[in-house]
Amino acid sequence: MRTMDNDKTMQEAVASELLWDPKITSDDIRVSASDNAVTLTGHVESYGERSAAVLAAERVYGVKAVADELEVRLPSSGHRDDTEIAEEIARERHWNMWFPDSIDAEVRDGHVTLHGEVDWLYQRAEAERAVQHLAGVRGVTNLLTVKPRVQPDTGGVRQRVEDAIERMADLDARSIRVTMADSTVHLHGHVHSLAERHIAEQAAEAAPGVTAVVNDLTVTP
């Protein structure tokens, strides 16, 4: 009975967080919860809203996993042909410093595939975030590879990542351990939510020279 009560409480908390988030306007999102795992089903009107819904669920205390089964159904006013989306991506390049010319974007039926190379891992994530909020986009596939211009100093990069995590107000740096092999950062330890797990990963992604982050942090409410 206690497990069922916990599941119901989590389900209600996630539903409340979805209602609270101004980026989420759909009334067709259904939430289920079981053993600290949340499943989102139904449909939303944009890919950006779908991403916002997942992030909202991850912010809720106690959630350890989120299954995203949401479908993007564009409203009639949101439909754009592939050429229009491609032109919007081209305009994005002119003002977004994290979207360099080395990135190629292929658009097919509203789905964007990113190809090419970037210097920083953070650029890879930022390019995807920039595209997923464009009107008419139904989905994004990120095939970008990271090739730093210089080989990183393993010890120096690890120290930068540790320092960045210590500066994060939302993180308890004492519960996170950072190791590094070649240009890959490994995060070990525990955090209190999936949102904190992402914050730690983003801190590691921002370090120059990092090509991958292996996030082994566990969520311990």
Q: 100 and 50 in one domain? A: no
Domain count, the chain: 3
Phi and psi at residue 146, to the nearest 5°: -105, 125
Q: 6 and 67 in one domain? A: yes
Q: 135 and 163 in one domain? A: no
Q: 20 and 64 in one domain? A: yes
What is the C-alpha to C-alpha distance for residues 216 and 177, in angstroms, rounded to an integer?
Answer: 10
CATH of the domain at 99: 3.30.1340.30
Q: 103 and 137 in one domain? A: yes
User: β-strands 29-34, 37-44: how paired?
Assistant: antiparallel
Give the predicted TM-score (pTM) of the model.
Answer: 0.78
CATH of the domain at 37: 3.30.1340
Hey, what's the torsion of the CAs at 125, 130, 131, 136, to 10 degrees? 150
What is the C-alpha to C-alpha distance for residues 162 and 164, in angstroms, rounded to an integer?
Answer: 5
Q: 83 and 60 in one domain? A: no
Q: Among the three residues 146, 167, 187, which one is the final residue of a domain in this structure?
A: 146
User: β-strands 111-118, 145-146: how paired?
Assistant: parallel
Q: 83 and 62 in one domain? A: no
Q: Which domain holds residue 178?
A: 154-219
Q: 205 and 163 in one domain? A: yes
**pLDDT digits (tens), the chain, 221 positions:** 345 578 899 999 999 999 999 999 999 999 999 999 999 999 999 999 999 999 999 999 889 999 999 999 988 776 789 999 999 998 888 888 778 888 999 999 999 999 999 988 888 888 998 898 888 999 999 999 998 876 666 677 778 888 888 887 677 878 888 988 888 889 999 988 888 888 888 888 888 788 889 999 999 87
- Please, are residues 131 and 92 in contact by the beta-carbon 8 Å criterion? yes
User: β-strands 65-68, 212-215: how paired?
Assistant: unpaired
Question: pLDDT digit string (tens) for 17-38?
Answer: 999 999 999 999 999 999 999 9
Q: Among the three residues 118, 146, 174, which one is the final residue of a domain in this structure?
A: 146
